[in-house]
Structure 1
Amino acid sequence: MAMIGYARVSTLEQNEALQVDALIAAGCDPARIYVDHITGSSTKRPALDRAWEYLRPREGDTLVVWRLDRLGRSLAHLVQLVSQLAADEIEFRSLSESIDTASPTGRLTFHLFAAFAEFERDLIRERTAAGVAAARARGRQGGRPRALSDAQIEQAHRMMREDNLSATDVAGVLRVSRATLYRAIQGGT
């Protein structure tokens, strides 16, 4: 049974000493405290990967952080990480928020965080759908703008029909690729 510490500082000016001292005071072995010097939005966290490799599933190991925001990039990411720990039967502790998944109260607190994260995702999804519906009701379409206007498509038809220009020549005149020209002529763009 080991307590593995993880700390993260975002900038070179920040110092991990506060976090490391708190992790040691909580019982982490100083040799098993992994520190990333990286922004929270970064998906690559080499020290966290090393800590994860050291954690032994089903042997009572605990991952300890000073604060929740040091571990997860977002609430959803935090829930994902702690859920993976739970699946591997590895406990989790956050010192500042007094969350310890080894206790029923800690598990409840974390599940509340997970419920809030799911609620937040649902709200974002609903707001996005409402925004798209409102834009469509006002006649706006999402996505990339058309490469050729209706007038340019008609001009392309005329040049190919009346002037006997090749698709390559017409595409060059309209400054689009041949594929774009063909899609537009067939009604796709």
Structure 2
Amino acid sequence: MVVSAKRATAPKRVALYLRVSTTEQTTDNQRRELEAVAERAGWEVVAVFTDEGLSGAKGRDMRPGLDALMKAVTRREVDMVAAWSVDRLGRSLTDLLDLLQEMRSKNVDLFLHQQGLDTSTPSGRAMYQMLGVFAEFERAMIRERVMAGLARAKAQGTKLGRKRIEDTDAKKVDAIRALRAEGKGIRAIAGKLGVGVGTVMRVLGEPNAVA
């Protein structure tokens, strides 16, 4: 007699992300609730990343916990990221889209406790599908503002020109490429290094990129 055995499915590897804005606050409640959810769902919490006393308005480069989390996502060390609420991840739409799109590109799901969002479910996956729509809207708005600004400058007699890549400081060129390799967005790189977005895109050879 042949006995068939059902192969056990490995539990979902989950990373918790916890953040509070002030040092007077604690992440204990967030962790307790998320660990309880994971236990009920049969998920395995493999890592906990924390940023304490840091505003959600700060970018990834200013939040070591978030940066470490996204590096774990890039290395495919987790299957899902769980956070207490969407505002724990960030408060800028652009930054949120960058994070969520990066997770999606690595097939990493997202669970948000307060919003009841779980992208591993059919209804939750629909949210990921909308990311492309919002990202394209953001790009279109940026292009529109840039074109309007150029037209206004031209009408005012301002001479328009492009700074050549070779005129950019060599160290900044290396820094731009290194930050992009770490997964930083175009605007984040430009802000960090004090250069124009166009300069960053030309150095990277990504003329149509805005993320």
Partners of 2:102 and 2:140 lie apart in 1 by 22
Aligned to 1:160: none
Aligned to 2:143: 125
Give 1:87 shift: 3.0
Partners of 1:50 and 1:77 lie apart in 2 by 16
AA paired with 1:100?
A: D
Q: Would you say 1:20 and 2:35 are equivalent positions? A: no
Contact 1:99 1:110 in 2 (8 A): no
Number of equivalenced pairs: 142
AA paired with 2:55?
A: T
AA paired with 2:26?
A: N
Partners of 2:145 and 2:46 lie apart in 1 by 47
Q: Would you say 1:63 and 2:43 are equivalent positions? A: no
Partners of 1:34 and 1:10 lie apart in 2 by 15
Partners of 1:32 and 1:60 lie apart in 2 by 8
Aligned CA distance change for structure 1 residues 134 and 49 (closer, same or farther; 3 Å): closer
What RMSD over aligned residues (CA atoms) do the two structures have, in Å? 3.1
Give 1:63 shift: 0.9
Give 1:90 shift: 2.3
Q: Deviations over 1:92-139 (max 9, x none)?
A: 112222222212221211222442233023113202321331232133
Q: Deviations over 1:52-83 (max 9, x none)?
A: 566673x8721101122322463333233233
Q: 1:111 aligns with which of 123, 129, 134?
A: 129
Given the two structures, how large is their TM-score scaled by the length of structure 2? 0.54
AA paired with 2:47?
A: R
Aligned to 2:110: 92
Aligned CA distance change for structure 1 residues 31 and 86 (closer, same or farther; 3 Å): closer
Query: What is the aligned-residue identity percentage?
Result: 36
Q: Secondary structure at the match of 1:13?
A: coil
Q: Deviations over 1:30-58 (max 9, x none)?
A: 7833211223313243223444566673x
Q: Would you say 1:32 and 2:50 are equivalent positions? A: no
Which protein has the larger Cα radius of gyration, Structure 1 or Structure 2? 1
Contact 2:46 2:78 in 1 (8 A): no
Partners of 2:91 and 2:139 lie apart in 1 by 15
Partners of 2:19 and 2:159 lie apart in 1 by 43
Aligned CA distance change for structure 1 residues 134 and 82 (closer, same or farther; 3 Å): same
Partners of 2:135 and 2:105 lie apart in 1 by 19
Given the two structures, how large is their TM-score scaled by the length of structure 1? 0.59
Which blocks of at least 5 consecutive residues in structure 2 are unaligned?
1-11, 162-211
Q: Deviations over 1:131-165 (max 9, x none)?
A: 3312321334568xxxxxxxxxxxxxxxxxxxxxx
